[in-house]
Amino acid sequence: MALAACGTSAPLASNQPYPAAGLVLLSLTDGSNRATASIGSDPVAVIVSEDGTTAYVADSAPGDVYAVGLPALRIAWKQHVGGAPFGLLVRSGSLFVSLYDGGAVVELNPATGAKLRSIAITPRPAAMSVDADGRVIIAGTSGRVQYLDGTTLKGGPGYGIAAVGRQIWTADYERAELVRADGRIVGLPAPVFPFWLSAGSSNHLLIAAEGASEDSDLGAVFELDTSSLTFTTLAMPRDPDQVVLSGSRVFVAAHGDEHVLVVDGSTTTSWAQGIAPVGLASDPALNLLVVVTNSHE
């Protein structure tokens, strides 16, 4: 059963310093710090509800999922799911959570955290997205794109997945390649290893790729034109864990450089110096960038 935690409890939010593990709210306008909260011990991902009032956090090692009210940063519920939760997806009134060690995707009630069902998935399910037909798609180290009904497509053995138009893209982490669901393989323009994929503007794909030594070597953030299959290098941070588009700007969780990198056309700026970002979610409704931090990752 989900654990309600915030009805009369004191807020967890504070200001500086940034928490070793938790959430940080930054202004989408200028990156100024709005609030911070220590949440969980090994948070790895965050997603925001469709109305922008709740952030959902995957706490990997303990196997928990949190719902946190925005902008007050009060915990609404905590649900134990086990299995190292990795990916989060809000879809059709449900919260889907991939269990990397559990070989499953669990469906939760986003209002209460109650478990609705568990769907067995090929081992090591990772990030999730939605295809052009509105169906949930799941990446994993098995090398197949998986659907909740058991259907599979060609994919790369990696963690990232994104749909751009009717194309589905995955990552082959070890080979430094992208794999399209029709079998097309596209090598990255540098010897870096694609971790996170997300849809960019128009027909573009965003890629966050790590260096050979994750913490010390330069990685890269690329934009791929999926029509011409040409790359643009947007930045070269260390250990970029996630890349997302919000409006005209690209935000990068530059974990190794300890800041959030903001790419706006030809201009690059750094927000929240000294933070340990691993995940990001844009919340335009509240004009916030929600950052999950993990200094142990």
pLDDT above 60 for 107:
yes
How confident is the model at residue 114, as a pLDDT?
98
Q: Confidence class of residue 297 from pLDDT cuts 50, 70 and 90? A: confident
Secondary structure (DSSP) of 212-230:
SSTTTSB-EEEEEETTTTE
Structure tokens at 161: 């997945």
Sheet containing strand 144-147, strands side by side: 125-130, 136-140, 144-147, 152-154
pLDDT above 60 for 28:
yes
Closest CA to 200 of 249, 253, 255: 249
Q: Confidence class of residue 16 from pLDDT cuts 50, 70 and 90? A: low
User: Are 297 and 241 a contacting pair, CB within 8 Å?
Assistant: yes
Q: What is the pLDDT of residues 263-276, one digit of tens each?
A: 999 999 999 999 99
pLDDT above 90 for 8:
no
Q: What is the pLDDT of residues 181-239, one digit of tens each?
A: 999 999 999 999 999 999 999 999 999 999 998 878 999 999 999 999 999 999 999 99
Write down the mean pLDDT value for the chain.
Answer: 93
Average pLDDT of 145-152?
Answer: 96
Domains and CATH numbers, the chain: 3-7+24-263 (2.130.10.10)
pLDDT above 60 for 258:
yes
Distance CA 239, CA 224 (A): 19
How confident is the model at residue 12, as a pLDDT?
40
Average pLDDT of 71-100?
Answer: 97
Structure tokens at 160: 């990232």
Report strand pairing: 64-69 vs 74-80: antiparallel
Secondary structure (DSSP) of 123-164:
SSEEEEEE-TTS-EEEEETTSEEEETTS-EEE--BSS-EEEE
Average pLDDT of 98-115?
Answer: 98
Is the pTM higher than 0.85? The answer reads yes
How confident is the model at residue 13, as a pLDDT?
43
Residue 266 phi/psi, 5-degree rounding, is -90, 0
pLDDT above 90 for 242:
yes
